[in-house]
Amino acid sequence: MNPPKHESGGDEGSSPYLAHHFESPQQQYDSAKLGMWIFLVTEVLFFGGLFCAYGVYRANHPAVFADGQHFLDTRLGALNTAILIFSSLTMALAVRSAQLDQKLSLTGWLAITLFCGLAFLGVKFVEYHGKWEHQLVPGQARLTYWFGSGPERGTSHQDSITPGKEFRPDEVHIQEKLADAGYPSLGERELAYRVNNIRSFVGIYFMLTGLHALHVIIGIGIIAWLLIRAIRGHIESRNFTPVDLVGLYWHLVDLIWIFLFPLLYLIH
């Protein structure tokens, strides 16, 4: 049943997927996986820098987070968490299907995973758009200069935007949100202080979720590539390694979101 072993003990030539510089499919697989895990660790450390910035900010300026939390919708965050966890499950099932040579279910699970990735981005878009509308963007972004004019012209606070000028957060919107949160009327100085807090929070929020969203976009790209290969029938149990490695990447993206969700959306 098994292909005959080579004299050297390896399986040379027994698999069309075995590169000549590897002893056996096992060694080839282990090497690929080792490399992937090392890459994942660099990703953890890469995100670690931003988590560190978060920690330092939260320790030094708790008010930034106390004020900022009113501007995120926990329901949307929870929805995205559920979407990503579900997509992790379907990715794990895709890996399993690939290992067992179940080509139809492999295609199905990959398609569902891809769809979940897109759904995650869709929800993220809704959230980002809400911030963008009220000029709640990181730092003193001068994007208006590049895009010609600010988004949504005609409302009072945005009339002041001219090319090259910095974004000004929508203070009316901020006042409304803070009133909802139980700060009915704020003096000018108090409001300016809180606007600055919210600006800092939005900066941290966009950097963390933006880098994560970039990873989701890359993930969607490689899952789409896998899906095309799966539809063409290129993936079978003997070369399921790409599915496995993409799966590991996708789970890491999920893991990072598992931390981002409580750290950004669930501050009270």
Q: Tell me which residue of 227, 244, 241 sits closest to 104, measured CA to CA.
A: 227
Using CB under 8 A as the binding rule, whether residue 262 contacts another protein is answered as yes
> Shortest Cβ distance from residue 18 to another protein (Å)?
8
Using CB under 8 A as the binding rule, whether residue 26 contacts another protein is answered as yes
Total length of the chain: 268
User: By C-beta, is 11 or 67 nearer to another protein?
Assistant: 11
Phi and psi of 47, rounded to 5°? -70, -30
> Shortest Cβ distance from residue 89 to another protein (Å)?
4
Q: Looking at residue 71, what DSSP letter applies?
A: G
- Counting Cβ atoms within 10 Å, is residue 45 exposed (0-12), middle (13-18) or buried (19+)? exposed
Out of 67, 83, 88, 223, point to the residue binding another protein (CB under 8 A). 88
Longest dimension (CA), the chain: 85
Contact status, residue 194 vs residue 165, Cβ threshold 8 Å = no
Q: 51: how many CB neighbours lie within 10 A of its CB? A: 15
Round to whole Å and give the CA distance between 164 and 178: 29
Using CB under 8 A as the binding rule, whether residue 132 contacts another protein is answered as no
Going from the C-alpha of 107 to that of each of 95, 100, 253, the distances in angstroms are 11, 13, 21
> Shortest Cβ distance from residue 17 to another protein (Å)?
9
> Shortest Cβ distance from residue 68 to another protein (Å)?
15
**Assign residue 12 a region: left if phi > 0, alpha if psi is -120 to 50, beta otherwise?**
beta
Q: Which of residues 33-52 bind another protein (CB under 8 A)?
A: 33-34, 37-38, 40-41, 44-45, 48, 51-52
Out of 12, 63, 66, 99, point to the residue binding another protein (CB under 8 A). 99
User: By C-beta, is 191 or 255 nearer to another protein?
Assistant: 255
> Shortest Cβ distance from residue 149 to another protein (Å)?
37
How close are the terminal C-alpha atoms of the chain, in Å? 62
User: By C-beta, is 85 or 218 nearer to another protein?
Assistant: 85
Q: Which of residues 136-165 bind another protein (CB under 8 A)?
A: none
Q: Which residues bind another protein (CB under 8 A)?
A: 2-3, 5, 11, 14-15, 24-26, 29-30, 33-34, 37-38, 40-41, 44-45, 48, 51-52, 55-56, 58-60, 74, 78, 81-82, 85-86, 88-89, 91-93, 96, 99-101, 237-238, 244, 247-248, 251-252, 254-255, 258-259, 261-263, 266-268
